[in-house]
Amino acid sequence: MLNIESENGTPLDNQIEKADHQDETADENVEPFDYTHVHAVARIALYDDLRSAPRVTEIHPAPTAEFIESLASKIYEQAKNAGGTIPYTVIREVSENFIHARFAEATVSILDEGNTIRFTDQGPGIPYKDQAQIPGFTSAVEPMKHYIRGVGSGLPIVKEYLDFSHGTITIEDNLGTGAVVTISLRAGEATDMPPVDQSSALHPASAQPSAMEPAYPMHEAPQQLQQQIPPQQPMQQPAYPAQYGYANPPYPQEAAPARPPYGYEPEPQYAPPRYAQNPYAAGAPYYPQHGAPAHRAQGMGMQAQHAMAPLIPPLSQRERDFLPIFLSEGALGVTDLSRLTGVPQSSTYVALSKLEEAGLIEKTVGQKRILTDLGYHVANSL
């Protein structure tokens, strides 16, 4: 039988067997990670400005569920006190992402008066940054799913909210190893828009640069104005662009709900002038109003509400009032919500039970409730 030897005279079969045994021994020495308890310390750095050292708060080791909630709550509290407007739900989704790094050197920096929050770790990093922001892509393993959903919905929820609110999310590599996730929501960006020019909405090709000019000349007769307005056929979209002048509507137009015939749509809260009627009925020309940005924001909310209507279960007014509170306050118990709203604890408990049965909230550690994915979307649409 042919016996192959290596250069040092040792039979090659013996060397291969020895190498395999060493690999098996190395694998046996690697202990599985204990996801039930966080043994690391997380640090939160609150910057008043970049000319001075930050104030540092430490989140000490604790059971995993308690650690995540303490971390997210403390970040939200400090960011809000600094003037930030990022909701608790968004902060918690990114905080839960630390579990993928096994909470290795978890550090959170709060900047820009609480409107920018940066999460860094020294874990394995996020190699596929674009896919991490798409629903369904996940690296979660079974032990993690006792504390997070683990279905790849966390960062996509954050991205969707920030896109809708004119915020940003960026994912970068940390120095050496790990990931850096930065979320930012500048105060006033969502409403800092120029006033709507109603004349450009009717006649895009002849729009005037000034939004405060009359929608038509003072001497023009009502009959001439009516001739300028394109005739609207039943079940036809109005002649002005969607979203009252929005260049980039927040949702694709094909996803928008079907609109009733022009001239018969429900009365909006801000009651804009009806162009299908005679605008001279009041005896004065129509001028665009200074409150147009707020009108647009209400219009966006109405469209989102229509789009979410099929998903919203039947809710009482009290239940509708409770849901948005979770967006701003985060995890709440019966006593917390009763104290915030003034509703008796017994009535608060009944309302929370119904919301839980509807799949809009879920219990977390300490019998507190937080919004589910569906509850997050429904609360934003109310």
The 10s digit of each residue's pLDDT in 194-211 is 444 444 444 444 444 444
Lowest-pLDDT range of 100-109, 110-119, 302-311: 302-311
Round to whole Å and give the CA distance between 44 and 120: 10
* pLDDT classification of 99: cutoffs 50, 70, 90: very high
More confident residue, 213 or 185: 185
Region 134-160: mean pLDDT is 92
- What is residue 350's predicted lDDT score, i.e. its pLDDT? 85
Name, in order, each residue with C-beta under 8 angstroms of 111's C-beta and a sequence gap of 6 or more: 47, 50, 117, 118
Round to whole Å and give the CA distance between 253 and 39: 49
The 10s digit of each residue's pLDDT in 26-43 is 444 556 889 999 999 999
Average pLDDT taken over every residue of the chain: 74
The 10s digit of each residue's pLDDT in 209-261 is 444 444 444 444 445 545 555 555 545 444 444 444 444 444 444 444 555 54
Considering the segment(s) 311-381 as one domain, its CATH architecture is: Orthogonal Bundle (1.10)
Share of the chain above pLDDT 90, in %: 38
Backbone φ and ψ for 353, nearest 5 degrees, come out as -65, -40
Region 44-68: mean pLDDT is 94
With 0.85 as the threshold, say if the pTM is over it: no
Lowest-pLDDT range of 106-120, 136-150, 245-259: 245-259
- What is residue 381's predicted lDDT score, i.e. its pLDDT? 84
* CATH annotation of 37-184: 3.30.565.60
Any idea where the domains of the chain sit in the sequence?
A: 37-184, 211-230+277-287, 311-381
- What is residue 16's predicted lDDT score, i.e. its pLDDT? 57
The 10s digit of each residue's pLDDT in 174-183 is 999 999 999 9
Region 6-22: mean pLDDT is 56
